[in-house]
Amino acid sequence: MILVTFTLFACGLCLPLFKVTQMVFWKSSYSILTGIRNLIEEGEYFLAGIIFLFSVIFPITKLGVLAALWGKKLSDEQRIKFLHRLALLGKWSMLDVLIAALTIIIVKAGPIASVEPRSGIYIFSVAIFLSMITTAHVEKLAKKVFRSQSPIF
């Protein structure tokens, strides 16, 4: 599940999230990565950094922690630390999807442009949702292993 989530996440980053049409003459499609690049080119470093952090770094970190929990032999202390990190990252999981959805809503509200969602937004959303399910499953398994290894007094 971790590998499928990572693959969908990578596709979601590269595929267009939405297509913007302005005044019938100008059309453009944006993916998360092209959006970040465009923000940097326009000097919007803070906004580009926030989107990069929540849409790229957090999901990759979360998948890395999941892979470490799943694939490494960990002590009880390490497992608890990784589970704590997953809980912290899990709170931010849907923020990137919310940002993309708000962008579509804001642009659709304007009379000059129209926005059409593209496959990237759906694939990216599924990847984030699948990462949440995978996280819950790995946490459940890790806690089960932790309980079975703990001595009962």
Structure-model confidence comparison of residues 46 and 92, the more confident one: 46
Structural domains of the chain ordered from first start:
2-144 (1.20.140)
Q: Are 127 and 3 in contact (CB under 8 A)?
A: no
> How far apart, in whole angstroms, are the C-alpha atoms of residue 57 and residue 92?
11
- Between the CA of residue 139 and those of 7, 93, 132, 151, what are the distances in Å? 21, 15, 10, 20
Enter the tokens of residue 85: 């990190």
| pLDDT of 99 higher than 70 | no
| pLDDT of 79 higher than 70 | yes
Neighbours of 89 (CB within 10 A): 19
